[in-house]
């Protein structure tokens, strides 16, 4: 495609039609003809931040807007800088977002529990 940037691959919809019996159909005289159109994309392998710990992956797509230690875990799973794709621009403020209040309270509670036992 003229003008398409290097590394950009167009994905065009595909269409297909099939015939099926509706749920509860008693005989084959009540058929449904279904036409579908969708992008030919299959779900990719995904992992949570917790399950990604300790893994090294060739390609990683991350959203760093949540900040905190999870962003480090997500971004550092990529084998190289070239294998890391950041979904959208992110600021230092977003990366250094403080921990949620409830999490801080729970961490304090656990620290006290550890100290007192």
Statement: the pTM of the whole predicted model exceeds 0.85 = no
- Count up the domains in the chain and report the number: 1
CB 35 within 8 A of CB 13: no
Residues of the chain under the 70 pLDDT cut: 42-46
CA distances from 13 to 6, 30, 37, 68, 108 (A): 21, 29, 6, 38, 52
In a domain, 30, yes or no: no
In a domain, 36, yes or no: no
| Separation CA 35–CA 20 (nearest Å) | 11
CB 17 within 8 A of CB 31: no
Residue appearing with tokens 């779900």: 43
> Which pLDDT belongs to residue 29?
82
> Which pLDDT belongs to residue 45?
63
In a domain, 5, yes or no: no
> Which pLDDT belongs to residue 83?
92
> Which pLDDT belongs to residue 114?
93
In a domain, 100, yes or no: yes
Range(s) of the domain holding residue 88 = 44-116
Beta-ladder partners of 37: 15
In a domain, 69, yes or no: yes
């Amino acid at each position: 495609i003229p003008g398409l940037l290097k590394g950009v691959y167009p994905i065009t919809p595909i269409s297909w039609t099939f015939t099926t019996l509706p749920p509860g159909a008693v005989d084959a005289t009540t058929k449904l003809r279904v036409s579908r159109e969708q992008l030919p994309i299959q779900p990719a392998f995904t992992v949570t931040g917790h399950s990604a710990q300790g893994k090294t992956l060739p390609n990683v797509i991350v959203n760093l807007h949540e900040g905190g230690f999870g962003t480090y875990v997500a971004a550092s799973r990529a084998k190289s800088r070239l294998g890391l794709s950041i979904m959208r621009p992110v600021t230092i403020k977003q990366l250094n977002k403080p921990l949620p209040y409830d999490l801080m309270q729970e961490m304090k509670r656990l620290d006290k529990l550890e100290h007192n036992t």
